[in-house]
Structure formats: structure tokens, C-alpha cells
Structure 1
Amino acid sequence: MYRIGLTGGIASGKSTVVAILKSWGAAVIDCDILARQAAAPGSDGLIAVRQAFGPQALLADGTMDRAYIGSIVFQEPSRKKELEDILFPFIHRQIADETRRIEKIEKRLFLFLDMPLLFEVKYHSYVDEAWLVYVDPETQLRRLMARNNFTEREALARIQAQLPIDEKRSLAQVIIDNAGSLENTKEQVRLQWDLLMSRIRNL
């Protein structure tokens, strides 16, 4: 089964492209959902997070305190890597299981892996091609500040926790520029969809 990694910088509008692809019937694995499942209450992943970050890593209902964890990892790169090293093996296992299910049960010829950190965790080596939803860094910063009501410093901390979006652009095979109108984005996705169908037919 042909696998496409779909990624983008924070506030680049990747969810818009995902919605377009789903409306056309594409199979999409939301890796953020799998990441949350990897740290679900009572899971081995969350137990390991608690051991590493202390009891304050959990809320009263047993879920992970994402605000607390986020306040740590976005300020301390070493703790961010520590969290990733804990959770990524669980997440990768779930991705593999869901991929096999889609291939064997749904009999799909291709699927998209919706993965914000595709390049950061070097998962692009496991897909056949990578699509990047791109906006220029200035637009990215402005959108993130407006969307999350962040100060410039808060927004920059989250942007800088990822690879620079222009570096991601150099690694991707397909670029969807999402700085313009929704209609323009749809036109780009339609073009790349048609080209993808041609590649798959020629496999």
C-alpha cells in the first residue's frame, strides 16, 4: 500500500487539507489521535510519563496534564526529547497496526498519515512520499498568535519547537501553499491528487 506522509508547520492549515482529502474519500490516519491513545489513562505510555515527569503530570481524573507537560517541553528541549523517547515507540506501534488494518480490511491502495512531526521524528523514511502544507514563516507566526491568542514569545516558542517550515519544504516531495484562499488551496490539492492517482496506477 502506498503511504503519503502529510505534514505542516503549526498553524499552517494542515487540517484544511486533511478535510479536503477526506471529502474525496481518502483514508487518513490521524497520528495525533494515536498519540493521545498512547498516553491514555492507565496506559503504559502514561505510566512512563508520570515516572519521568512526576505525579503533577496527571490531572485528578487520571489524564495527562497537557498544559503542564507543554509548559515544560516547550521551554526545555532536553525534556521534549525525553517525552518523545517515551511515547514514540507506543505511537509507532499503533500506526503500524492501523496501517495493516486499512490495507487488509479496507483494501485501500494508498493512505495518508496526518503527522505534524513527520520530519522531526524522521518518520518520512517510512513513507513513499511527503506532502507539506506550507505558509511562509511570517504568516505562520501571525496565524498562530491569532488562533491561540498567544503573545509573540509564546507563539515563537511553539514554532521553534518544530523544524523551521522552510527546512521542511526542502524535505517534502509535494508542497501545498496554503497562504492564499481556500479555493486556491483546493485547486492545488486537486492537482496533486490527480498526479498521485497517476503514480499509483503506474506502480
Structure 2
Amino acid sequence: MHGSSPSWIQSAIGYEDGCTEKGIPTMITWGYGGKEVAVEGSWDNWKTRIPLQRCGKDFTIMKVLPSGVYQYRFIVDGQWRYAPDLPWAQDGTGNANNILDLQDYVPEDIKSISSFEPPLSPESSYSNLPLGAEDFAKEPPLVPPHLQLPLLNLPASHMEIPPPLSRPKHVILNHLYIQKVKNGQPVVALGSTHRFRAKYVTVVLYKPVQR
């Protein structure tokens, strides 16, 4: 239900954010476009319209409210609106308002979290025997065959088995080098090579390391 308002944003002087008050922190979000968005609700008997702050494509505001059930509506560019993806109901005059139910909110007990002690690890997790000479004498596991077919910079004609995928067009290769000297200042160098098809671009950044 849409309705017009002669002054869609009233002065919010005297309105406090409420973060210092005891209550339930609640995020109210409008994600259906508009240039200017405000919200009003039954938490103060519809007395104050509070502008929402743009956050990317959405408009949001954080309110701290006591436990209870509230009705609220958005004012988008001067028109009454409601968010259809949130709980809503019609009032006695037929206007659609969103519903905010904070009755079942359970606050976190910080003291219980700070006094929490993790359980001890089971003894079975430390029962593995150390590796012996027989373990080191075994042959290493075989490499999966598809890892023996590199696709980068290798023509398909040189392979006994053609690769399942085509050669990638874009490849990035990074190198990090740290030089440590006894009497001088160590240097860190970062090299980044970009290949796109047959073109290569290499950038090297280096700077001394402060001891």
C-alpha cells in the first residue's frame, strides 16, 4: 500500500541512536532501491522518521529496542513502502506494515563465554606410533597421471596423451625473494609475471627490510 506524506523526512533532533541504552540491537534494511529512505515505527508511536544510511545498494540503520513486537514501514522518496521479503501485515486502515518480533531474543552471556574451557583432547589422538625405518623404506605413492601432463607452455603435439583441457590463455606466476646479508640491509623482492596468450609482462617490486 502506497501513500504520500507532505514531509517525508522530519527532523530527527532529539533522537538518540540508543546504542548506550539497554536493549536488543536490530538491523533494519531496505533493499528495493530509491534515492532517500527513512523508517518509522510503533517503537515510539510513529513519532519520528529516521533516515537510513546507504550501504552499497541497500539502506540500513541499527536500532536498539526493548523486547516486544513492533510494526514499522519505510518511506522511500516520499512514498510509504514495506519490504515484501520480511514479515508484514495490514493495519486497520489497510496499510501494509512490516512486523519486527523481538520477544524470543536471548542475549549472549559474556561471562559464560569467558569462563568456557575447551575439553581435553582424547588420549586416542596421541596413540600413533612414530615412523620407523620400514616406513621410510617404502616407495612413495604414485603421482596421479593427470598431474604429469602440464598444460602451460607445452604444445599438445608433444604429449603422448592429449590434455583434457586447452592451454589456458591467462597465467600469473609470482616469485618472492628475500636476500639476507650480514653487514648490509636485507632486501625483499616480489616478481609477478602475467602471460596472456603470447604476451608477457613482468613487474618486480623490491624494498629494504627494516630490522
The interval holding the TM-score normalised by the smaller chain is: under 0.3
More strand by proportion, 1 or 2? Answer: 2
Q: Please, what TM-score do these two structures have when normalized by structure 2?
A: 0.20
Q: Please, what TM-score do these two structures have when normalized by structure 1?
A: 0.21
Which one has more relative contact order, counting CA pairs under 8 Å at least 6 apart?
Answer: 1
